[in-house]
């Protein structure tokens, strides 16, 4: 797959000579493209050339479909400053092509108008800079194309909002970024899309592919010195643009693009179950769940450190969804006395009238049940469980975002040896509070995974019979 003659002409007109690595990425026809780049690899320049590459085809598509002009494009980053390189690269390229109609003097926010329209409508397209700090502002327009600038710095929820804005005009979405670590939604999607997935594709753009800075490529003396002076994971992430995730993740099947959805919202009138892992010295995790159309939807979460049981209850009962709560599931430890204090489950029953079922759940059997729900259903082609992006506690434990309590990356992991192999019979009992709440709920509702073929719920085999929901006594 090569570049069209039109693109070659445009690149020549703006004095652009792509590196071989950039040339391999630009013609990709996937609707969504993610690039993990090394430092100084030319990511911003490539993103600007993506806009030049797509502009004429977009105009042709818009005329055929009757889309309104001027067409809108977004440069989106965690803050306006991170859009600056792409902004000026696009401005300079349009100037060289004689298509620059006007531009703002600033990038916060900024805009570039593309000329070449018919008389009376001289502006064909507008490129706007957008900050994702308030992701709600990302829903006011329907862009033809989106460039994520240093996209690895975007919050997961902002990324999902941008995905939703692709739909009206089937917009293309081109993201570039240098990874700070190999955990989080950005490197996870880099891994998941490496061979292509549903019109999505990911690439790595190593620093040494920029032969203007490193004429010797991978064997350039400066690169060899960097490799000698830095840890292997740093070199892979920051120079080669290749994720180097830690070994021993308990639930590597979790993929943010599949299991997190902005459509996972509270549906009034549908019964709610709360899945609860109490905690004070560690996080207390309460997950609000609805079962809709055969899918488990974790639509809300209370995830707090240092809160008492009474504080968790007081916060939960004033939520708009509380009136639909019909049942609860709690860690069996929540039914025990803690010194002179009443069991957590009794406190809930006394204050809210909510009965919480419980049972002892073996760690590995519970993990197996969670893993079964991370699979995509073979009949519906949907994941069996989805999470709202607001459920940042459990998503962080799965590796999809920073932990909301300390804003650091913590994931549920196995013990590993120096070669990175998992050791021991059970994982490390940390950073798993939301995960344990989900495990208790899934086992309570669906039982354990088993090879017995005699009973099924949907398309999920389980041991025994599913419980019937108990209605709260109120």
How does DSSP assign 149-174, residue by residue?
A: TTGGGS-HHHHHHHHHTTTTTT-EEE
Over the range 349-388, which residues count as b (16 or more CB within 10 Å of their CB) and which as e? beebebbbbbeebeeeebbebbebbbeeeeeeeebbbbbb
Spatial distance between the Cα atoms of 391 and 270, rounded to a whole number of angstroms? 19
Of residues 432, 442, 319, the one with CA closest to residue 373: 442
CA-to-CA dists, residue 315 to 302, 311, 403, 427, angstroms: 8, 6, 20, 31
Map tokens 């950005």 to a residue.
Answer: 186
- Residues linked to residue 291 through DSSP beta bridges, in sequence order: 296
CB 395 within 8 A of CB 389: yes
Q: Which domains does the chain have, with CATH numbers?
A: 5-239 (3.40.50.300), 257-461 (3.30.420.280)
Per-residue pLDDT tens digits of the chain, which is 474 residues long: 688 999 999 999 999 999 999 999 999 999 999 999 999 999 999 999 999 999 999 999 999 999 989 999 999 999 999 999 999 999 999 999 999 999 999 999 999 999 987 777 789 999 999 998 866 666 678 899 999 999 999 999 999 999 999 999 999 999 999 988 778 899 999 999 998 888 999 999 999 999 999 999 999 999 999 999 998 888 999 999 998 877 789 999 999 999 999 999 999 999 999 999 998 788 999 999 999 999 999 999 999 999 999 999 999 999 999 999 999 999 998 888 766 688 999 999 999 999 999 999 999 999 999 999 999 988 888 999 999 999 999 999 999 998 999 988 899 999 888 766 778 889 999 999 999 999 999 999 999 997 544 444 333 333 333 444 443 333
Sign of CA dihedral 61, 67, 70, 74: negative
């Amino acid at each position: 797959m090569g570049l069209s003659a039109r693109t070659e002409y445009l690149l020549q007109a703006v004095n652009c000579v792509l590196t071989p690595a950039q040339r391999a990425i630009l013609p990709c026809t996937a609707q969504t493209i993610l690039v993990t780049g090394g430092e100084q690899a030319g990511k911003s320049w490539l993103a600007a050339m993506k806009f030049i590459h797509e502009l004429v085809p977009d105009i042709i598509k818009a005329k055929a479909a009757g889309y309104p002009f001027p067409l809108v494009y977004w440069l989106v980053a965690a803050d306006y400053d991170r859009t600056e390189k792409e902004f000026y690269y696009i401005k300079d390229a349009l100037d060289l092509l004689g298509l620059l109609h006007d531009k703002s003097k600033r990038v916060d926010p900024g805009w570039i108008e593309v000329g070449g329209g018919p008389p009376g409508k001289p502006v064909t397209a507008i490129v706007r800079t957008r900050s994702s700090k308030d992701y709600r502002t990302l829903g006011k327009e329907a862009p033809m194309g989106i460039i994520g600038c240093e996209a690895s710095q975007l919050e997961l929820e902002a990324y999902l909002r941008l995905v939703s804005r692709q739909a009206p005009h089937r917009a293309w979405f081109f993201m570039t970024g240098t990874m700070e670590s190999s955990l989080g939604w950005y490197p996870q999607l880099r891994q998941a899309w490496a061979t292509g997935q549903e019109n999505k594709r990911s690439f790595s753009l190593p620093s040494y592919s920029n032969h203007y800075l490193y004429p010797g490529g991978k064997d350039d003396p400066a690169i060899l010195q960097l490799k000698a002076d830095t840890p292997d994971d740093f070199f892979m992430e920051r120079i080669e643009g290749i994720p180097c995730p830690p070994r021993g993740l308990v639930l590597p099947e979790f993929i943010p693009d599949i299991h997190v959805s902005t459509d996972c919202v509270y549906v009034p009138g549908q019964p709610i179950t709360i899945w609860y892992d109490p905690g004070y010295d560690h996080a207390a995790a309460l997950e609000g769940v609805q079962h809709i159309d055969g899918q488990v939807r974790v639509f809300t979460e209370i995830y707090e450190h240092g809160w008492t049981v009474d504080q968790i209850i007081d916060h939960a009962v004033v939520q708009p969804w509380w009136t639909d709560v019909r049942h609860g599931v709690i860690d069996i430890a929540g039914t025990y006395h803690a010194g002179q204090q009443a069991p957590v489950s009794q406190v809930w029953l006394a204050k809210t009238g909510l009965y919480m079922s419980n049972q002892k759940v073996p760690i590995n059997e519970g993990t197996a049940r969670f893993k079964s729900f991370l699979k995509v259903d073979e009949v519906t082609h949907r994941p069996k469980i989805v999470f709202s992006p607001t459920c940042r506690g459990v998503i962080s434990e799965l590796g999809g975002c920073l932990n909301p309590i300390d804003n650091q990356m913590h994931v549920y992991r196995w013990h590993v040896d120096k070669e990175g192999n998992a050791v021991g019979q059970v994982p490390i009992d940390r950073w798993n509070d939301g995960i344990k709440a989900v495990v208790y709920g899934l086992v309570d509702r669906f039982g354990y995974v088993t090879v017995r073929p005699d009973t099924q719920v949907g398309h999920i085999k389980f041991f025994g019979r599913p419980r019937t929901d108990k209605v709260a006594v109120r």
